[in-house]
């Protein structure tokens, strides 16, 4: 007798080039279609303001998922911002789809989809509900009162949640401190990365730099992620003032997009350093970008894990990052990188300057990172999720 497939819904507000969306996609791609019947339900990503290149990247991902048997459903009403009308419609549509398909497990991702998706699952009497926050929004994102409302909503919703996945041990400690979920319901499953993809690079790095207008022999510091206040891109720009005092030719590369780009560009013009500050938008060739860089910088004020840290380690790069959220679980001080207080441009500048002046130290950190990153492989993540789903069933 043929064994019944385990039916799982993955729900997220937006599919874009960000880490949480890519993790959700990988959580659908990595499982055997013989064992699982997977659904990927997502919003239209309008708030991401994706250009043609980003849209093509996301479409290729969802098309690959469909080719592997994943049912992909787009709900235009499922948006990231608070919108009572759209939220009500999204809740009803999620409930109706769950009523029709009767999944064994609903696995929600990120805060907004987590609230709507879990309550819709509760209303549809879905037997098991799992949530991955992908880093919380209780500080660094909103004002105190707004953050308090989100925290209360999450505490209420956690009561109907069978498991809440933390990406790192540090993130788990944060959730326990906030009393969001009992410890026995909070497994740690990192966001997996295909480390082999980042370990090698066949591109002509000199030609890539030339095409981007980057000085070929100058140190290049790279930040990859959303250009939003919580990610600290302006903190990094301020830190560069110290770097440029010691190494005027150093380049700064921002890979990603967001509302802070214009402000940084204006500041670069004001301080006459526009020729040293480069913006690429979202790129698909992140392995090549990382091999082009000398140091990966993650200056976030709040970060659940930071997949790019694992990608940088796989590429053999030293890291300078904020000591916040789950980052210290990946970046070991003095071993594969340096940690600085979040929001402290002076300390960030000191750390970057130190590694530029001591390239042999940066190289040693890169070697150690290559070994350590295997703990965060894609295969390891899939195996842990598989075990969790099995236990839930």
* Residue 262: C-alpha distances to residues 259, 299, 318, 392 (Å): 7, 18, 28, 47
What pLDDT is recorded for position 136?
A: 62
Asked if residue 44 lies in contact with residue 74, where contact means CB atoms within 8 angstroms, the answer is: yes
Asked if residue 155 lies in contact with residue 182, where contact means CB atoms within 8 angstroms, the answer is: no
Are both 211 and 174 inside the same structural domain? no
Q: Which residues contact 337 (CB under 8 A, 6 or more apart)?
A: 318, 319, 320, 321, 331, 365, 369
Are both 360 and 306 inside the same structural domain? yes
DSSP 4: P
Return the biggest CA–CA distance within the chain: 72
What pLDDT is recorded for position 4?
A: 87
Q: What is the pTM of this model?
A: 0.80
* Residue 25: C-alpha distances to residues 29, 67, 148 (Å): 6, 13, 30
Residue 86 lies in a domain: yes
Asked if residue 255 lies in contact with residue 280, where contact means CB atoms within 8 angstroms, the answer is: yes
Are both 165 and 221 inside the same structural domain? no
Q: Residue holding tokens 């699952």? A: 121
From the list 47, 91, 97, 114, the residue with the least C-alpha distance to 258 is 47
Are both 200 and 237 inside the same structural domain? yes
What pLDDT is recorded for position 382?
A: 94
Are both 224 and 363 inside the same structural domain? yes
What pLDDT is recorded for position 188?
A: 94
C-alpha to C-alpha distance for 27 and 134, rounded to whole angstroms? 13
Are both 138 and 218 inside the same structural domain? no
What would the DSSP string read from start to end of 231-276? G-HHHHHHHHHHHHHH-TT-EEEEEB--THHHHHHHHHHHTT-GGG
- Alpha helices by DSSP H, listed for 68-181, are 84-101, 111-123, 144-158, 169-177
Are both 200 and 338 inside the same structural domain? yes
Q: Which residues contact 48 (CB under 8 A, 6 or more apart)?
A: 14, 16, 17, 18, 54
303: its two tokens: 């970060």
221: its two tokens: 């510091």
**Which residue range forms the structural domain that includes residue 64?**
6-192+377-392
From the list 136, 123, 127, the residue with the least C-alpha distance to 92 is 123
What pLDDT is recorded for position 52?
A: 76
Q: What is the CATH number for 288?
A: 3.40.50.2000
Domain count, the chain: 2
DSSP 343: T
What pLDDT is recorded for position 92?
A: 97
Are both 124 and 244 inside the same structural domain? no
Are both 139 and 268 inside the same structural domain? no
What pLDDT is recorded for position 348?
A: 98
80: its two tokens: 């990231």
Report the 10 Å Cβ neighbour count for 87.
17
Residue 67 lies in a domain: yes
Residue 1 lies in a domain: no
Are both 310 and 381 inside the same structural domain? no
Angle at 351 between CA 256 and CA 328, to 5 degrees: 70
From the list 186, 162, 184, the residue with the least C-alpha distance to 174 is 186
Helices (H) and strands (E) in the chain, counts: 15, 12
Q: Residue holding tokens 């991401």? A: 48
Are both 299 and 349 inside the same structural domain? yes
31: its two tokens: 């499982």
- Give pLDDT tens digits along the chain (393 positions): 567 899 999 999 988 777 788 889 988 988 988 999 999 999 875 555 677 777 787 888 889 999 999 999 999 999 888 889 999 999 999 999 999 999 999 999 988 899 999 999 999 999 999 999 987 655 544 556 766 777 888 889 999 999 999 998 888 888 888 888 889 999 999 988 888 889 988 889 999 999 999 998 899 999 999 999 999 999 999 999 999 999 999 999 999 989 999 999 999 999 999 999 999 998 889 999 999 999 999 999 988 888 899 999 999 999 999 999 889 989 999 999 999 999 999 999 999 999 999 999 999 999 999 999 988 888 889 999 999 999 998
Are both 161 and 288 inside the same structural domain? no
């Amino acid at each position: 007798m043929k064994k019944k497939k385990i039916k799982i819904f993955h729900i997220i507000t937006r599919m874009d080039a960000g880490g949480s969306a890519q993790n959700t996609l990988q959580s659908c791609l990595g499982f055997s279609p013989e064992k699982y019947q997977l659904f990927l339900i997502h919003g239209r990503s309008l708030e991401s303001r994706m250009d043609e290149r980003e849209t093509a990247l996301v479409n290729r991902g969802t098309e690959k998922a469909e080719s592997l048997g994943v049912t992909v459903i787009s709900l235009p009403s499922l948006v990231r911002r608070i919108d009572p009308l759209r939220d009500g419609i999204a809740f009803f549509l999620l409930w109706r789809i769950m009523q029709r398909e009767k999944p064994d497990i609903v696995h929600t991702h990120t805060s907004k989809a987590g609230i709507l998706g879990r309550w819709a699952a509760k209303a549809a009497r879905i037997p098991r509900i799992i949530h991955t926050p992908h880093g919380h929004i209780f500080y660094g994102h909103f004002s105190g009162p707004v953050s308090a409302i989100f925290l209360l909503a999450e505490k209420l919703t956690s009561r109907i949640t069978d498991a809440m996945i933390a990406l790192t041990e540090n993130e788990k400690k944060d959730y326990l401190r906030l009393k969001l979920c009992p410890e026995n319901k909070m497994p740690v499953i990192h966001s997996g990365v295909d480390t082999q993809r980042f370990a090698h690079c066949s591109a002509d790095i000199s030609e890539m730099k030339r095409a981007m207008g980057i000085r070929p022999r100058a140190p290049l510091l790279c930040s990859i992620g959303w250009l939003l206040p919580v990610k600290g891109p302006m903190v990094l720009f301020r830190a560069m003032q110290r770097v440029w005092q010691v190494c005027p030719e150093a380049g700064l590369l921002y890979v990603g997009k967001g509302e802070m780009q214009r402000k940084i560009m204006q500041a670069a013009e004001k301080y006459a350093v526009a020729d040293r500050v480069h913006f690429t938008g979202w790129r698909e060739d992140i392995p090549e970008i990382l091999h082009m860089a000398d140091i990966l910088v993650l200056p976030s004020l709040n970060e659940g894990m930071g997949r790019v840290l694992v990608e940088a380690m796989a590429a053999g790069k030293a890291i300078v990052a904020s000591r916040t959220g789950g980052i210290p679980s990946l970046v070991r001080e003095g071993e594969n990188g340096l940690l600085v207080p979040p929001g402290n441009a002076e300390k960030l500048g000191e750390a970057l300057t130190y590694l530029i002046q001591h390239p042999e130290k940066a190289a040693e950190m890169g070697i150690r990172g290559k070994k350590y990153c295997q703990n965060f492989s894609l295969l390891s993540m899939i195996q842990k999720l598989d075990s969790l789903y099995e236990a839930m069933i």
